[in-house]
A and B are shown apart, each in its own frame.
Chain A
């Protein structure tokens, strides 16, 4: 008896099950690490998945954690759907955060109605500009964008570091931390005495826009055509270069908004650690959400839950919080492998003897 791989697409109803199966398999695989840490995996999963939702405070914290992830997940999705492998959302986030800080610190005596939109526009434009050079190199010169967008992430970090060690260094503490943005530039809180801020609503709005553009507009159709096969799209009369350029730039812009949201909603000043890799986590979220707006939203909330849960697990069971990072990474790889089930089926065949 042997196995044969057939190219048969999975039925539509089965497709949403794939990420769920991936989640289960990931938890089974990572149970070994929890056992190594002398904890019971079932206890750990309780603290990961249920405990954060059992109190109001920590449930809100899940939404706070999910906010940047919704945005970077949407940014990555917008590019990936259009066939542009933007690995540079991390850098675009830092570009947006830098612009938001530069604008925000000069907003004293300016109404919030002006300050906040200005920061959002500035962050979007900064993210787009950070994405511009690799995007142009891709569409004009056919240079692989993965490496160029990735390298610019490091450049963005150096740029922020140069600003924080130079013009924006705190003159009194000498700490590498920018001045605070003006009070009017700070995102209002959605729930008093919590950390949940306007950025969460913005992120949801962007998810809805993402859904609308991808599924209800002619441009979304063009993007998906280019993503599936640039050659076929070209043949069908679609302007592939223009479509790809727009997906890349809008993706960068959304990445920039993620940076604005972290500055104006959480930190109020620029430090070099505003993102623990949200741009890369966005890739996990886009993959887990199967490049679908609602899937991305669910995936971002789920990763937000894992992030919050990792701290609960660590407090309750003494398992290092890094377990959360391992689970996320394993989830990415497992999902990536299991998504093949969308297109292939493994069947048993009897060997003909």
Chain B
């Protein structure tokens, strides 16, 4: 009996781990690409938030208008707004070459403000949060005994792990674009001399990266919750910043990082319900941050930041 309960617990935990890891994987890959091109985008937290909001707002209004594909319209809207914010970040960090930390935080503050402003404008100040019928979970191997629940996931979770991740790896290490991307992030002068358009590659990468961050945010509002609230992202963007370093700027390691965080988070929720341990649950929430800082400290001078990390490129 106890064994059966334990197996159920474990299966539920694994399923939840994949769900929690999904938005993190999207946004972490987005940030990872951005940083590999030499730009730190601290706009990630705000872009996820804005993606969650725009996705939800478009979906809710389309559903009201009776459009069948309202969730996909929402997702499309989130991608568009992500691209716009990515291009804005590129304008500041690539064209103007201003301080990337401050520009990124500015993007986060602007996106957060715009989303909250839009939310109040469109949905008013009602005490009941508006909601939509979210994406359904697929049940591909639903009939599978015992393990079935692990595979009951959203389509976007499958996309993240089976499509996005291999694609991100392949694009980065096996294509011309990936080579250019890495070269402008390591040594823009040399890349420029070799005929790579540094500005164009960084613009494309920042737009692509921010679109992935926005999808990560929209996953929460369109799939996991079917609603939008001011606390919807709650620092997940900062977790992704940590995961990129933890992953040493490699997509496959980023997946393990996202799964590890997803696992800790899912476990923490369950332990909180069981009330078994005396450690405050916040300790588990702080763990990914502390682990990243410790990992940075241990790696010390050997942390292999991209060569042109934080450096704007100017043709003199």
A binds B: yes
User: Contact residues of A with B, CB < 8 Å?
Assistant: 33, 36-37, 85, 87, 133-134, 137, 141-144, 146-148, 150-155, 157-159, 161-162, 165-166, 277, 280, 283-284, 287, 320, 322-323, 325-326, 328-330, 332-333, 336-337, 339-340
| Residue among A280, A326, A336 making CB contact with B99, cutoff 8 Å | A336
Contact A33 B282 (CB under 8 A): no
Say whether B161 faces chain A, with CB atoms less than 8 Å apart: no
Known: A144-B305, A158-B285, A326-B110. A332 touches B102 (CB 8 A): yes
- Which residues of A are found within 8 Å of B10, using beta-carbon distances? none
Dominant SS among interface residues on chain B:
helix
Say whether B121 faces chain A, with CB atoms less than 8 Å apart: yes
Contact A151 B292 (CB under 8 A): yes
Contact A323 B117 (CB under 8 A): yes
Known: A151-B289, A336-B102. A329 touches B297 (CB 8 A): no
Contact A151 B242 (CB under 8 A): yes
Contact A336 B106 (CB under 8 A): yes
Identify the closest chain A residue to B89 (Cβ): A333
Contact A155 B297 (CB under 8 A): no
CA distance A280 to B238 in the complex (A): 14
- Which residues of A are found within 8 Å of B113, using beta-carbon distances? 322-323, 325-326, 328-329
Contact A85 B280 (CB under 8 A): no
| Residue among B103, B282, B297, B309 making CB contact with A158, cutoff 8 Å | B282
Contact A158 B114 (CB under 8 A): no
Contact A133 B102 (CB under 8 A): no
Whole-angstrom distance between the Cβ of B229 and the nearest chain A Cβ: 14
- Which residues of A are found within 8 Å of B310, using beta-carbon distances? 144
Contact B297 A147 (CB under 8 A): no
Closest 5 CB pairs of A and B: A325-B113, A329-B109, A320-B120, A329-B110, A326-B113
Identify the closest chain B residue to A85 (Cβ): B101
- Which residues of B are found within 8 Å of A325, using beta-carbon distances? 109, 112-113, 116-117
CA distance A147 to B285 in the complex (A): 17
Identify the closest chain A residue to B230 (Cβ): A322
Contact A154 B101 (CB under 8 A): no
